[in-house]
Amino acid sequence: LTELGVKTGPVANELASSRDFWRGVVDGDGWVTTDAANPRLGIVGYPYLLGPFVAFLTGHGIVGPSVRPHKSISQVECKSLSAIRTADILWRDCTVSLDRKHEAALAVAAATPQTTVHGEAHGNSKLTACDAQEIRRLYESGETSHRQLGALFGVSHGAIGAVLRGKTWVAA
């Protein structure tokens, strides 16, 4: 591979800042897909390649994607709005790319991200905003445990802990 110009190690600065380079990486070692209004775009590779991709995205105002281990290699995946923005950056007005990835990228760029329903509007919600406030009040009194509150409100003690830590029902 070295004879063909393939090398390992840090990505050269002129490549790391090139949307054409990253589009080529996605064409070769990545995916672009949208199903049920859930656009996704990503690449697999070694961290020395993926770190500069995350930096490229961050430089274009896309935050969130990070290098994550995946089986024997690593990956970076953009989902929802970050996938839409990344597809637009990489494929807007491009003249060279794989046809199938280009078509998929156009579909992703045109996608409408699925909105997530939270709180009482979620069909599986067992608690209300008032319940969350009452859970906090009762727990702060020091007279009830997570388990007791879970039994009282019909949820697990883990759900009570999530409310108390502010992981769920933040606005309540």
Rounded distance between C-alpha atoms, residue 42 and residue 51, angstroms: 13
Rounded distance between C-alpha atoms, residue 2 and residue 150, angstroms: 61
Q: Hey, how many other C-beta atoms are within 10 angstroms of the C-beta on 72? A: 5
pLDDT digits (tens, 9 = 90+) for 14-65: 899 999 999 999 999 999 998 766 889 999 999 999 999 999 999 999 988 8
Q: How far is CA 109 from CA 121, 138, 147, 149, 151, in A?
A: 28, 47, 46, 45, 46
Q: How far is CA 56 from CA 5, 83, 149, in A?
A: 23, 14, 47
pLDDT digits (tens, 9 = 90+) for 62-118: 988 899 998 889 999 998 889 989 999 999 888 888 898 998 888 888 876 666 666
Rounded distance between C-alpha atoms, residue 79 and residue 115, angstroms: 12
pLDDT at 145 over 70: yes
Rounded distance between C-alpha atoms, residue 127 and residue 96, angstroms: 52
pLDDT at 166 over 90: no
Q: Tokens in use for 79?
A: 């989902």
